Structure 1
Amino acid sequence: MLKSKVAVQVISSGVLPDDAIMLGEAYLKQWMIPHGQPITIKFGAFRHPVKVIPVERFDGLRIGQSLARKMGIYVSTSLRIQYRSTTSTLALGPLIGVLVSRDDPSVPNRPFGSITLFCKELVDACAAQGAHVYFFTPNQIVGNYNSIEGWIYSDGWRKTAVPAPDVVNNRLTTRKLENKPDVQHFMKEVKIRHNTAVFNEKFLDKPEVFEALHKDSTIVKYLPESHVLRNYTMLKAMCSRYPVVFLKPVRGSLGKGIIRISRLDRETFQAMYATVGGTRRQQFSSLLKLFSSISGKMKTVRYQIQQGLHLIDIHGRPVDFRALVQKNETGKWTITSIVARTAGSHHFVSNLARGGTLSTVREAVAKSCLTAAQGQDASARLQRAALEIAKGIDTNIPAHFGELGIDLALDTNGRVWLLEVNSKPSKNDNTPLQDQKIRPSVRNMIRYARHLADF
């Protein structure tokens, strides 16, 4: 059986015209590719009729420079190839398009700012697996859904016309960009026209997640009581049931805007606000006065009110866990990593952007107040919860996800709780970039893209 990843050589157009390609003879025999008859070469949305010239004792593919340019390929590379006899099509790929928020052509070495290293890591991972990746922004979606002006890496970053991809990984970082009519129309059209798979196609709002997961009997045990905060009556009811409640912006991220409300005595309440510099505290002589102080914000920010949990901590700093779950080469959810995040001093949220620190689950559990018995299988229980929650999202929310960041917690009895689910997990929030190494999370993304594109 010949391998499906082959070396693709780009040669002078004077040697090889656009309507011909050269392929190792063994491939023609194995796949029964007809001699002398036109077949279609396919790369993403690009299709072009060619004749195949067999080459003895050669296990690669040669294409002319002019044809390669039309495909957005500038240098020799490795790609997966597959002959589909029902349509007489030789498919190359997968071609992956990563939709990013912004680019800056004036900084050619760092066109994507802080995520440029991650983008280059994706390029290297694709080269290793026989895939091809490019990057594009909403501004490069201009109504022609057959091709896009995207960024490729070829001895440096360059912009060029590339075909619409087999797979789109939506890594837009704001709902405003994601909801632009051009972006929504593009995602809809490439699915219809080119059978493009789009994954992580939407942001998740906190109430949407909790309401959807409540339908799943296997997941309810992980869910703290949560509601959209609508009025004072709801705040009063939750504060009568729980000594601590949290208000979380429905569309918040990175711990921004979270308010922790706790009862100090029968009448007095304290609100703690998460800010970049630390925690700001404010006392109120009644719950009604506290509500009045936030009711103005509620006109522009929708809050989810959530049962406060008595979480494990390390020297008074709360600990939670970020599980990165990804679909693999067979389309099944798997755990890529779970890390413990300990809140920074003067903070009650654990995000790295707020001074939080990372450690292994085992280290965090060992340093916490859990007994040996309570912490014994903590890692396995966190993994099981993350996988069940990911499957629940798939089942109950009508959108396509290939990776999720799932924030979990352990209470002081060792019980696992869900805090929130992030459909755009940061690649710097689990395992940091390492010199010249491709992280498992990046390799897994390519494997899933290959699965989606049938390579």
Structure 2
Amino acid sequence: MQKSKLAVQIVSSGIIPDDTLMLGEAYVKHWKIPQGQPVWLKFGSYRQHVKIISVQRYDGLRISHSLARRMGLARNLTLRMQYRPSMQTLSLGPLIGVMVSRDYPQTPDRPFGAITQFCKELVDACETQGAHVYFFTPSHINSSSSLEAWVYGHGWRRMKVPVADVLNNRLTTRKLENKSSVQHFWREVKSRYGTQVFNEKFLDKSEVFDALKHDSSLHRYLPESHLLRNFTILKAMCSRYSSVFLKPVRGSLGKGIIKVTKASSSGYNALHATVGGTRKQHYTSLLKLFASISGKMKTVKYQIQQGLQLIDIQKRPVDFRALVQKNATGKWAVTSIVARVAGGQHFVSNLARGGSLSTVKEAIAKSNVASSAKKDASSRLNRAALDIAVGVDQHIPAHFGELGIDLAMDVNGRVWLLEVNSKPSKNDNTPLTDKGIRPSVRIMLQYARHLAGF
């Protein structure tokens, strides 16, 4: 009973005073909780003095309706409890908050659009594991001590809630993440309440590669990469490699990627990834190609990366997306790896560009990877994903709890890093179903409990 999970029952305020908790006798005895004298009730940032009444033959906790409202609770639920005698504090939790980019109040059955089902899965996982979760957007922040958020209780509703023990940053644009109100909020809740914030920032492609270069154990995964600052860098890379990729440093979903290859006759070809397919342009010289993109470089920073001879399935390039998460003990573990096969008219594999998903085993079996490399391909991908996640943790000063790591394999079976995403999609790798809770959701909650000490 060290970290007890118990049912919290909300009863009429006429039955029980607002400053009183009715707690099952077994809990009171086990924790040696004093009766008849005030103890602190803690729930996230919420604090209040309460008295404890022991209830025989009862295995839960009863609180008044008005106290539940102040705590941001909309229904009966399951929480975990701890009592710290030295601080005379009874803690309930963990309380978890998820900051999302936007909500849609006009559709209360789907208030978060495409990720509503993920949010509901997290609610259900909390019920199973003993926790409470709410969801909010940057516009819901009133101050560092006051929030309005969506909670689930017989349908979605908005309530005033305390600051959570753990916050997960699920913002999907840098513009929102960099808002001064959002940055101020993160700083304040960390310093004032000791709130843990994970996945607190976006990662830029150049930032990741520059950081990992300093770790000699990761060199084998890193294609040569540089920030494309001038023509000299482009010329040097094109002289070393038969193809190079130009990737927007802050791009996603394969947007804006350009593949540069030497033409069979003379000059260079540039393949542009577009929604409709691949657009090809020919340049008689590398200088003319550079001139065509130098205008874009004034507003978009590009990373130039060594081209790789990736495995393919019937001329369709294949890469791999690993979801790596911290688990119940705070250690990185691979939750899933899926293969992504590029669409027929594309050289990038994103689902948004017509790509399709496959199991790693099936993709490797169908691909043109060397037969000697097929046997342990899956374990090499797992090892690379873990190594890279640990490297990001060690070399980039921010707190991450889950990472989407895009990997590639060349025809000789060598694994390469393509990019690291600190906001992995919640409706990309695993089909959403009405039944059950995805492992990725369960593990995310286990890590949140680990951070909160529950």
Which TM-score band (shorter chain)? over 0.9
Greater shift after overlay, 177-186 or 73-82?
A: 73-82
Q: Distance in 2 between matches of 1:27 and 1:203?
A: 43
Question: TM-score scaled by structure 1?
Answer: 0.98
Partner of 1:336: 335
Give the drift of 1:3.
6.2
Partner of 2:319: 320
Q: Distance in 2 between matches of 1:265 and 1:228?
A: 27
Partner of 1:368: 367
Runs of 4+ in 1 over 2 A off after TM superposition: none
What does the per-residue CA deviation read over 1:245-286, in whole Å, with 9 as the maximum and x for residues that have no partner? 000000000100000000014731100000011110011111
State whether residues 311 and 410 of structure 1, in contact with CA within 8 Å, keep that contact through their aligned partners in structure 2: yes
Give the drift of 1:333.
0.2
Aligned residues: 454
Give the drift of 1:435.
2.1
Please tell me whether residue 15 in structure 1 is matched to residue 15 in structure 2.
yes
Please tell me whether residue 405 in structure 1 is matched to residue 404 in structure 2.
yes
Cα-Cα RMSD:
1.0
Q: Distance in 2 between matches of 1:156 and 1:365?
A: 44
Q: How does 1:100-249 map to 2 (within 5 A)?
A: 100-143=100-143, 145-249=144-248
Partner of 1:387: 386
What does the per-residue CA deviation read over 1:36-73, in whole Å, with 9 as the maximum and x for residues that have no partner? 11101111100111000001121211101110010011
Q: Distance in 1 between matches of 2:49 and 2:367?
A: 65
What does the per-residue CA deviation read over 1:297-342, in whole Å, with 9 as the maximum and x for residues that have no partner? 1111000000000000000000000000000011000010000000
Please tell me whether residue 78 in structure 1 is matched to residue 67 in structure 2.
no
Give the drift of 1:127.
1.1
Q: Percent identity?
A: 69
State the one-letter code of the partner of 2:432: L
Q: Distance in 2 between matches of 1:182 and 1:435?
A: 36
State whether residues 408 and 417 of structure 1, in contact with CA within 8 Å, keep that contact through their aligned partners in structure 2: yes
Please tell me whether residue 260 in structure 1 is matched to residue 255 in structure 2.
no
State whether residues 339 and 359 of structure 1, in contact with CA within 8 Å, keep that contact through their aligned partners in structure 2: yes
Give the drift of 1:434.
1.7
Q: Distance in 2 between matches of 1:222 and 1:3?
A: 42
Question: Which runs of 5 or more residues in structure 2 are unaligned?
Answer: none
Give the drift of 1:371.
3.2
What does the per-residue CA deviation read over 1:407-449, in whole Å, with 9 as the maximum and x for residues that have no partner? 0010000000000000000012221212222100001110000
Give the drift of 1:102.
0.6
Q: Distance in 2 between matches of 1:10 and 1:326?
A: 35
Q: Distance in 1 between matches of 2:405 and 2:112?
A: 26
State the one-letter code of the partner of 1:441: S
Q: Distance in 2 between matches of 1:295 and 1:372?
A: 42
State whether residues 2 and 27 of structure 1, in contact with CA within 8 Å, keep that contact through their aligned partners in structure 2: no
Question: TM-score scaled by structure 2?
Answer: 0.99
Q: Distance in 2 between matches of 1:239 and 1:16?
A: 76
SS in 2 for 1:293: helix
Partner of 2:443: 444
SS in 2 for 1:70: helix
Q: Distance in 2 between matches of 1:235 and 1:2?
A: 60
Partner of 1:87: 87
State whether residues 273 and 347 of structure 2, in contact with CA within 8 Å, keep that contact through their aligned partners in structure 1: yes
SS in 2 for 1:414: coil
State whether residues 115 and 427 of structure 2, in contact with CA within 8 Å, keep that contact through their aligned partners in structure 1: no
Partner of 2:344: 345
State the one-letter code of the partner of 1:401: F
State whether residues 74 and 152 of structure 2, in contact with CA within 8 Å, keep that contact through their aligned partners in structure 1: no
Q: Distance in 1 between matches of 2:238 and 2:330?
A: 43
What does the per-residue CA deviation read over 1:78-103, in whole Å, with 9 as the maximum and x for residues that have no partner? 00111122211111111111000011
Q: Distance in 2 between matches of 1:413 and 1:352?
A: 26
Q: Distance in 2 between matches of 1:432 and 1:424?
A: 18
Q: Distance in 2 between matches of 1:96 and 1:168?
A: 6
Q: Distance in 2 between matches of 1:124 and 1:38?
A: 33
State whether residues 242 and 307 of structure 2, in contact with CA within 8 Å, keep that contact through their aligned partners in structure 1: yes
Q: 1:219 to 1:200 in 2, by over 3 A?
A: same
Q: Distance in 1 between matches of 2:162 and 2:3?
A: 25
